[in-house]
Each structure stands twice: as C-alpha cells, then as structure tokens.
Amino acid sequence: MAMPAALRALTVLYVLAVLAGNQVEGRHHQPDCPSFSCGLLGNISSPFRRASDPPGCGYRSCELVCSDTKATIRIGGATYYVSSINYSNSSFWVVDADLDLHNSCPLPRWNPPYPHDNMEVELDPLVDTRACFVECSQEVKGTGMYMPVACLSTNDSFVYVLTGLRSTYMEYLQPSCGYLAVTPRPWDGPALENASYADVVKSMRSGFAVLFPLRAYREGIKRCVRRGIRKFHEWPVSGRSIKDWIVGILLVEGDFADCIFDVTGFPYYVGYERVTILITMWIVTLTADLCRFLLAPLAVLIFLAHKYWKTRIRIDAIGKFLQMQQMLGPTRYAYTDITAVTSHFRDKLGQGGYGSVFKGVISPGNVHVAVKMLDCNSNCNGEDFISEVSTIGRIHHINVVRLVGFCPEEMRQALVYEYMPQGSLDKYIFSAEKNFSWDKLNEIALGIARGIDYLHQGCDMQILHFDIKPHNILLDNNFIPKVADFGLAKLYPRDISFVPSRALRGTIGYIAPEMISRSFGVISSKSDVYSFGMLLLEMAGGRRNADPNAANSSQAYYPAWVYDRLTQQDHVGEISNHVDAEMHELERKLCIVGLWCIQMKSHDRPTMSAAIEMLEGSADTLQMPSRPFFCDEGHVHTDDTYRLSSELTEISEDMSENIDV
C-alpha cells in the first residue's frame, strides 16, 4: 500500500529534525578550543595544543611548549623548534634544538626513518634524501662520495659526510667505516650531491618537515562505527522494509558524521565519501544478521585462524623489526642464498647450544664468512635472532665481530658473520703449550676490554653482553680479539645505572653474583666487568678458575690461590703452570686487574674504562684489592669451594626456570 503524501512529508521532516538535533548535540559537547599563539607563530589550532588546554583539544603528541620567541615540541624523545605550520598539507617544519648556532662543528642526532604505522607524528615521507655521517678507522681515498669532516676527525678515526642519493646504500659503505648519525634533508631544498660539510650543516639548521598525526584518528573512527551499528539496531523498524533500511541508515549516517567531527575536529572529514560509508554500514549490518546462522562455521574459522596466528607470531615480530633495519644494517639473504654461500652446508665448523656453524664464501670478492644456522623449534619466538641483529648489527668496532648478513625465513633463520680463522680464545689459553707471550696476552686482554667498553659507552644505547667468556672471544688472522655471540645481549639507555632483573642468564663460572642475589648489588654494566675479570684470571693462569683435579687442594679455586700468592712477600714461582721462574710483570698485572674486576659487590668493581687504564699502566702502580668473598679467612678448602660452586649452580638453575633472555 502506497504511503500518503502527507505522511511522507511528516517522515522527511522528522528525519531532518533528528539529524539537526544530532548535529546541535554534537557541537554542544565539542570542547572550546580557541586558536592560540606560541612563540612567533600565531593562529595555531588542532592537532596542536598547550599543556593548559582542556582534554579533547589537540593531541598529546603535538603538545607545544611556548616561550617569547620559540615554540618547541618533543618527537621521539628529542626536542625540536617548530618554525612554521602548514595546515593545507597537514605538516609542520622543525629544527633540531640541539644544533647550537655557535658550534661551528656540530654532529646531528641519530634520525632513523620512522615506521609507517606510527600513530604519532612522523617524518614527512617526501624526505627521501638524508645526510649520513660515518666514522672510519682508515682514511678513505679515491671516491667523491666521502666528504671529510676535519673538525670531527682524529689521528685514529676519520669522519666523513655522504649526501648523494646512494649515501644510505650499504653497498657503498667502506669496510672500515660505520654509521655515526643520519639526518633528513628538506625534499624541496637545493641538491646536495657530494656536498661539503658546511653545506650539510646549513641544511641541517634549516630543518625538515613532519606530518600531522592523521593516523591517530583510526581508533576514534572505529568507535564511531561501533556506535553507529548500535544505534542502527536500536532504530525501531517493523518488517525491515527498504524504506525502513534507508531511514535507519540516514539517521546512523548523520550521527556517524557528528562523531567523526568530534574525533577529528576537521570539517572536511564530515560526510567524506558518504556513499562508501552507507554501503559499508549496510554490509556490516547485514553481515551481523547473517552471522546468526553461521556461528558454527565461524567458530571453526576462528579456531583455524588462531592456530595460524600462533605459527606466524614469531615471523610477524621479526618482520616488524626488519622494517627498522632496511635502510642501515646487515644484508638480508634468502635461504637459497645461504645454501649457495655454504655450498649446501658442506664445511661444518662446529656445533653450539644455539645451532650449527658452517663456513661459506660470498661472491663477488670471495669473502669468507661463518654462517650460524639457528636451531628453532615450536617454542622459538625469534627473540634471540632479534637480539643478535639489533645489537651486533649496528656495531662497527675492531674488537667486536661484524655481522655481515642474516636470513629471517621461518624455521631457517641464519646469522652470517665475518670468518675468524684462528677460532676462539679458549683453545689457546687452556692448551698445554704456551701459545702467547705475556706481551701478546696483555694485548689481547686490552682488545677485549676495549670491545666491551665500546658496547657499554660507544653506542647510542648501552649494550650489555651478559656472556663474556673465552669461548665467546674470537681471533682473526692477526690474533686480534673480537667479542662475539650476542644471543643474551640486551639494549638499555646509556643514562641508566642499573637494568631490570627479569630475563637474565649467563654461564656458571662467569656470571656475576648480583645476577643470582640482589644482596650483591644491582645488575648493570659491572656484571660484564665481573665476567671479564674471570676471563683475565684464566688467561693469566692458563687454566679454568675452578679445577677439582688440581694437584694441590689449595689451588682448586684459582682466584683464591692467586690472591694468596700475590699477597705473600716471596713471589717465588710463576703463577701459571708453564714456567717455573720469577713472576712476570704483565702476568702480575693481569691477575691484579682480574681480582679487582671480580669483587663480590658490584660497586667495588671498576668500570671497563678504568680497567683499560689499569691494563695500559704499570703493574707497580696497581694496589691490591680487598680479598674476594669466596676466599676470605685464608685458604679455601676444595670441599668448601665446590660445595659453594654447587650451591651457585643450583641457584642459577632455579632462576633459569623463572627468567629467560
């Protein structure tokens, strides 16, 4: 039966009245957010806000701090000056606040590319050119890309700036070089192909563009959609005729537009692509009704999706991490590449707790590498893989093993390192033959100390290794030591003095006491110092620190025995078992520094920088430290020593059930 004309008119008026009422109600709840001035900028509105503005005005990620002449904003933990705002293209211009105008030789902060799913402010995607600062251990000659920065260079390191379009390509990075900083350049600025340092500084001080956080509206729009669906179900329709559907959709659409305006604050979002919104609302509502008859198949699909998600979660975590490594970092290889590099895993170098190691050759150049294939079962979540790549992947130091590349494929994860032909340190210091002179041992100890100190202080984030031991020190052709195996390593800000106690483990005999009991102090970089001290004592003695088969029971625990020998008046007999002669000065120095490093209380140990100074100095200037906890009250009997060692092992095993790296 056709609807009378009068009734149709009343229906239209009713719909318009409801829509108008919704619009007025929506505006009534909109907070009063007047425009404001900040520094030299005027007429500022959303998404920017001040700390004093009421909730709902602007976004916390765009909060400005105002002074008489400056407007500042925090992005990614750093402070920037806002020099201009462009509402037409939803961007604003920022300048690094740390760039001192009076400093003639500034070094920019590290500005990596922001992920595209960032819900806060992000770098303008048009910024596709960057200036890269690199530090090289050898002078680079014969290439126009590397422009020297004399004021930042020293006799031992050379700093260059690269500004060409290929400046961020890893294939153009010299082998002796590593990245110091990367800063974006204005996309519409003058071309700086192979520009000088002065031109780059001028470009840095002009700033770069940053986008408004438009993606932050995503959750608000989802809330509006859910509210619209709820209101549509509440709309009284009899029989669900086409007319009822249209009226309900129109009312929901008006409320949805009101909600979008409240969320975004931008009028051009209201009614945007309304046809698409109406169709989407119709499809969503229809699907909700149809699901009443599809619950059983839907439950099966949810179960299958859950099983699939569990198998993919590790790869998803690695995939997100790899987005941060695409521009700067090691080379990513496919599993087929790994197979070709290792000649189908023909030459096996060894087997460890985390997988097998194979020798390989990368072409061109015939570069020899060591490929570690990680053992990954169903309980593997990719954390050890991410830990290795995120730590060692950003390090370029002569005493840290270099990560050449990686393969992230599911159940076939591999890490590609530079090949160390001389193997690990343990096979030399525990050998029956004396392989190294005392001068060489001291040189190796210094190299290890410098590598660990670089991990603690030489990077943007301090890296704690947590597994320093002879097996994890590799030697190249010239017996230069390199710290390796970062499976237990963790990244922490450099300004913190201790780290959380969760997720920590190590190797018995080298693990610091505070990692077992907090009564010995907090876990910090001093935990690596303890492990290094145990390593020094084993290098000096040419034996394990704990040896139940020692000929003399007083020598079973080496640190206690060597402490007694050093404090005796007659230093007859070399400490090591190799030569029966007067104690060598360098041997005595290694022992004293090692005893300083293994003090039970973490605050009594030196830093790695202080340990380097002690190793570089003379043994005569070193004072004997306090007697370590394990060797107080005279000699330590063998039974007592190994009872204590057994107790520590049991404690560590109990803790390993509760903590995991």
Long-range contact list for 631-640, CB < 8 A, 24+ apart? 631/557, 631/559, 631/560, 631/563, 631/564, 634/564, 635/554, 635/560, 635/561, 635/564, 636/554, 636/556, 636/557, 636/560, 637/553, 638/548, 638/550, 638/553, 638/556, 638/557
Count the neighbouring beta carbons within 10 Å of the beta carbon of residue 178: 17
Distance CA 177, CA 148 (A): 13
CA distance 97 to 138: 32
Q: Say which residues have a Cβ less than 8 Å from residue 146's Cβ, sequence separation at least 6.
A: 134, 140, 160, 162, 174
User: CA distances (Å), 118 to each of 213, 285, 460, 546, 567, in order?
Assistant: 8, 31, 22, 52, 61
Kindly state the DSSP code that residue 654 receives in the 8-state scheme. H
Q: Which residues contact 31 (CB under 8 A, 6 or more apart)?
A: 54, 55, 56, 57
Please indicate if the annotation marks 372 as binding a ligand.
Answer: yes
Cβ-contact 434, 440 below 8 angstroms: no
Calpha distance 451→596 (Å, rounded)? 19
Strands 71-75 and 177-184, sheet pairing: unpaired
Active site residue 467: yes
Cβ(213)–Cβ(62) below 8 Å: yes
Is residue 611 within 8 A of residue 450, CB to CB? The reply is no
| Per-residue CA distances from 654 to 9, 87, 660 (Å) | 79, 59, 12
Helix (H) or strand (E) holding 259: helix 242-264
Helix axes 526-541, 438-457, angle to 10 degrees: 170
Pick the closest to residue 452 from 499, 409, 406, 484 (CA basis): 484
The upper half-sphere exposure of residue 407, i.e. CA atoms within 13 Å in the direction of its Cβ, equals 20
**What counts of helices (H) and strands (E) characterise the chain?**
15, 23
Torsions phi, psi for 144 (to 5 deg): -85, -10
Residue carrying the six token digits 């593997």: 380
Active-site residue, from 255, 384, 467, 485: 467
- What is the torsion angle, in degrees rounded to the nearest 10, for the CA atoms of residue 264, residue 268, residue 274 and residue 276? -70
Pull the structure tokens for residue 625. 């430290």
Distances (CA, A) of 519 to 253, 427, 510, 523, 559: 64, 35, 18, 11, 21
Nearest to 611 by CA among 541, 558, 544, 535: 535
- Residue 124 near residue 86, CB atoms below 8 Å: no
Q: Residue 180: which of 99, 113, 130, 109 has the closest Cα?
A: 109
Q: Name the binding residues for ATP.
A: 372
Question: Active-site residue numbers?
Answer: 467
Q: Which residues are annotated as a binding site?
A: 372
